[in-house]
Amino acid sequence: MKALPTPPGHDTGAVTIYDVAAHAGVGIATVSRAMNGSAPVAEATRARVLAAVEELGFRPSHAGTSLAARTHAANGIVFPDLSGPYYAEVLLGYEETASQLGRSVLVLATHGRPDPASAVRDLAGRVDGMVLLGRTVSDEVIAGLAGLPVVVLARPELGDVDSVRTDGLTSARALGEHLAGHGLERVALLGSPEESPDVAERFLGIREGLGAHGIEPTQTPCLFDEASGTRVAATLLEGRRRPDALVCANDEIALGAIVAAEEAGLRVGHDIAITGWDDVMAARHARPALTTVRQPMRALGSLAAEVLDERITATRTTPRHELLATDLVVRDSCGLHP
Amino acid sequence: MKALPTPPGHDTGAVTIYDVAAHAGVGIATVSRAMNGSAPVAEATRARVLAAVEELGFRPSHAGTSLAARTHAANGIVFPDLSGPYYAEVLLGYEETASQLGRSVLVLATHGRPDPASAVRDLAGRVDGMVLLGRTVSDEVIAGLAGLPVVVLARPELGDVDSVRTDGLTSARALGEHLAGHGLERVALLGSPEESPDVAERFLGIREGLGAHGIEPTQTPCLFDEASGTRVAATLLEGRRRPDALVCANDEIALGAIVAAEEAGLRVGHDIAITGWDDVMAARHARPALTTVRQPMRALGSLAAEVLDERITATRTTPRHELLATDLVVRDSCGLHP
DNA sequence: GGAGGCGTAGGAAGCGCTTTCATGTGGTGA
DNA sequence: TCACCACATGAAAGCGCTTCCTACGCCTCC
């Protein structure tokens, strides 16, 4: 056996393709080909290489591969925040589909971060494409990602950027109609539509549904968490002309509102109707069970991964805008149904 | 101005360090130094470089950096599954701390994947260290990661591998004692301890707590989801010698069991006690509210990131095993408290 | 005035991989 | 028997970055 080429430096502890090549008595090119099947390799040689790989426990350095192949084989996903069941489901669907497409997933939560824009840009340097949820970063930042495939989730369409959203309008109208059907009149909307275009859409639909019956709801700003829901609802309930329906921007606010209503001695579903949005697990276990709107969160994530992949692989070059249907889930918190 | 060195190939559309160097009229080494502050650069030069960076929109290729600097600046985290509120919180804590330490986060969910072991090995090639949750992969796979810093979460200690766990034993004993104090006698444990060492620990503690009062619980296997909880509980409740307490391995099972109990016409908290574990959001909104054990999930993730970082930076070379306290949260589902 | 020192910057090597191009081998047809 | 070809393989050129080593001014000190 003649001397084989050895890497010049070769000082790290990690085993490289050179080690495998030496061990199998072949060149590094053959090792690469045998492992990736990128070109024909004699069966005997392949077996020898794979044996060496096994024996040495060779794991290709991703950086090397990525640099040479000019691809990261990774997708990013940027969340405003990760708390709550909503995002976890989206991530699950995303990761599942992305990994089926052979891509790793990098997550980034911008919440509470000093400079989200630079974090996003940094992420952009290590992925082949990314998904952005909601209003995490400004339109300018997205524009600055020029060239990088991007899909926005739960955010209004933005030029040629692909988008995946849920259709809140239809269910919101249905909810408004449903509430009007209960004979409710003093409806209060809880939430801050200016924080989220999705919420704005919901409120719009609800107004439409109620408006068809001549009802004009009031609107009170509220952060999207339970404690805020309790606080805001308590204030509303102690005022004169107490609302007979609290329509909340999400389930967390609604669950908080239920607490406030009970503390005020009201029977939810009888004296007052309360509704949420998202259908989190707690919604169906609350008593009375919460009337809400179910969003296909997992499908949302999965579809986003798919749409993104089409761009990355350049299978498609025209923008794609997807709208997923939502379901109104009527339970008892909006009034008893005989 | 004399001709500056140009990259040999230079065919991709992306702007590289060579472009910046040419634009600023300096060498690539200076660009690198100006951007990273790794060596002194004259103020005027630095300004010129940074202006060029800005103007060209230069984003360093992560692959190049990673290869040259022999670091990925990324951590992995491997989940068995991502559904449920539990994991989302862990991830949130992990991501937050990791990003403060300047590391990106790669997530991997092994659930439903054909070959988890190879997925983990693949992940290992693109991170500086990783966290493994629970029983996602076998001990052998972990051993095969030799050299890569690893922290296991919610998994029994394994040799020199760092670990972060919650102390389920103490709260489990307290729960057992508490139930005995309610005068309960026919206690059934629901869950599959062989699936998870954490659950095994919980059941052990509960047995100890009950045993101190001469009570010997029965044990029934059950998957860790709501539907299974309902199914298994329904079967137990219709048998003769109906249990007067269902102690569930997690909240999901318990919430499912509440449904079964109500369908059987039993009043939870009166006719039967039901307890969970994890204190998910639904636990406090269920009626009766669920007695359960709260785990510091966010802290768990955050601490794991910290422990991992110490290994990656070689700040510490001896194993570290952390145990986080849990809290018994007594509500109404285990019996009314006067 | 010359030697030495310091601050700044460029050249070039090298990180681990993929891929092109060239080479060598054995088999085929005339 | 010889030219030709397909196939398997190796050498080497990058991929974009960091960093070591060297070089160049310019100033200081004897």
Mean pLDDT by 10 residues, chain A (338 residues): 34 77 93 92 93 91 92 93 80 94 93 86 90 88 85 86 95 96 94 89 96 96 94 93 94 96 95 95 93 95 96 92 96 82
Q: What residue is closest to C16 (Cα–C1')?
A: A64
Cβ distance B281 to A282 less than 8 Å, yes or no, reads yes
Instruction: Give the three-state DSSP class for B187.
Output: strand
Where do the structural domains in chain B lie, given as residue ranges? Answer: 17-68, 74-166+297-325, 168-296
Among the listed residues A202, A207, A274, the one whose alpha carbon sits nearest the alpha carbon of residue A244: A274
Dihedral-angle region of residue A52 (phi above 0 means left; psi in -120 to 50 means alpha; beta otherwise): alpha
CATH superfamily of A17-68: lambda repressor-like DNA-binding domains (1.10.260.40)
Read off the pLDDT of residues B111-155 as tens digits, 9 standing for 90 and up. Answer: 878 888 888 988 988 899 999 998 888 888 888 887 789 999 988
β-pair partners for A213: none
Residues of A in contact with B96 (CB under 8 A): 109, 112
CA atoms within 13 A on the CB side of A251: 24
- Cβ <8 Å between A64 and B61: no
Spatial neighbors of A145 by CB under 8 A, at least 6 apart, are A120, A121, A124, A130
Closest CA relative to residue A242, chosen from A185, A181, A291? A185
Strand partners, B272: B268
Q: Do B92 and A74 touch (CB under 8 A)?
A: no
Judge whether A100 and A73 are in contact, CB under 8 Å.
no
A109 closest CB neighbour out of B92, B280, B287? B92
Residues of A249-260 as b/e, b for ≥16 C-beta within 10 angstroms?
Answer: bbbbbbbbbbbb
Torsion of Cα atoms, A132 then A166 then B92 then A63, to 10°: -40
pLDDT band for position B9 (cuts 50, 70, 90): very low
Tell me the C-alpha distance between A18 and B259, whole Å.
Answer: 61
**B 271-300 residues inside an 8 A Cβ radius of A:** 280-282, 285-287
What pLDDT score was predicted for residue A12? 41
CA of B84 to C1' of C27 (A): 64
Which amino acid, residue B45? T
| Cβ-based contacts of A258 with chain B (< 8 Å) | 285
B74-166+297-325 matches B17-68 in CATH topology: no
What gap in Å lies between CA A50 and CA B272, rounded to an integer? 60
The answer to whether some atom of strand C lies closer than 7 Å to the beta carbon of A28 is yes
B36, B92, B111, B259, best to mutate vs chain A, most A CBs in 10 Å: B92
What chain B residue is nearest to A285 in terms of C-alpha separation?
B286
B63: which residues sit within 8 A by CB, 6+ positions away? A63, A66, A67, A72, A126
Residue among A106, A107, A123 with most chain B CBs within 10 A, to mutate: A107
**Chain D bases near protein Cβ (<7 Å):** 7-20
Pick the CATH number of A73-165+297-323 from 3.40.50.2300, 3.30.460.20, 3.40.640.10, 1.10.1040.10: 3.40.50.2300
What percentage of residues in chain B have a pLDDT greater than 90? Answer: 72
Pick from B62, B105, B121: which is nearest to A107 by CB? B105
- Going by pLDDT thresholds of 50, 70 and 90, the confidence category of residue B233 is very high
**String of b and e for B145-183 (b: at least 16 CB within 10 Å)?**
beebbbbbbbbeeeeebbbbbbebbbbbbbbbbbbbeee
CB B134 within 8 A of CB B290: no
Cβ–Cβ contacts within 10 Å for residue B22, how many? Answer: 20
Closest nucleotide over all strands to A68 (CA to C1')? D15
Which of chain B's residues have a Cβ under 8 Å away from the Cβ of A74? 106, 126
Q: Please list, residue by residue across A227-239, b when 16 or more beta carbons sit within 10 angstroms of its beta carbon and e when fewer do.
A: ebbbbbbbebbee
Task: Name the residue with tokens 């919101």.
Answer: A172
Lowest mean pLDDT among A164-168, B123-127, B243-247, B323-327: B123-127
Average pLDDT over residues B245-267: 96
* A209 touches A226 (CB < 8 A): no
Q: Which residue has the higher pLDDT, B337 or B27?
A: B27
Instruction: Tell me, yes or no, if A113 comes closer than 8 A to chain B by beta carbon.
Output: yes
**Distance in Å, residue B112 CA to nucleotide C29 C1':** 56
Determine contact: B267 vs chain A, CB below 8 A: no
Whether A285 sits inside 8 A of B258 (CB atoms) is yes
**Residue B88 pLDDT class (50, 70, 90 cuts):** confident
Is any Cβ of chain A less than 8 angstroms from the Cβ of B1?
A: no
Note the Cα A78 to chain centre separation in Å.
8
Minimum CA–C1' distance nucleotide for B41:
C8
Q: What is the CA radius of gyration of chain B?
A: 27
Shortest CA distance from B76: residue in chain A? A106
- Preceding peptide of B288 cis, ω within 30°: yes
| pLDDT score for A13 | 58
Summarised one tens digit per residue, pLDDT across range B265-314 is 999 999 999 999 999 999 999 989 999 999 999 999 999 999 999 999 88
Q: Note whether B132 contacts A: Cβ–Cβ < 8 A.
A: no
User: What is the Cα–Cα distance from B185 to A260, expressed in whole angstroms?
Assistant: 37
Q: What is the mean pLDDT of chain B?
A: 90
Rounded to 5 degrees, what angle do the CA atoms B261, B328, A276 make?
60
List protein-proximal bases of chain C (any atom < 7 A from a CB): 7-20
Pairing of strands B292-294, B327-329: antiparallel
What is the nearest CA distance from A107 to chain B, expressed in angstroms?
Answer: 6
The Cα angle at residue A17 between residues A11 and A20, in degrees rounded to 5 = 100
Cβ–Cβ < 8 Å for A229, A261: no
| B74-166+297-325 CATH fold | Rossmann fold (3.40.50)
With CB atoms and an 8 Å threshold, state whether B99 touches A106.
no
**Phi and psi (nearest 5°) for A61?**
-70, 125
Is residue B180 within a helix (H) or strand (E), and if so which, with residue range?
helix B168-181
At B3, is the secondary structure helix, strand, or coil?
Answer: coil
In one-letter notation, the amino acid at residue B290 is L
Q: What are A267's strand-pairing partners?
A: none
Q: What is the distance between the alpha carbons of residues B76 and B165, in angstroms, rounded to a whole number?
A: 18
| A168-296 homologous superfamily | Response regulator (3.40.50.2300)
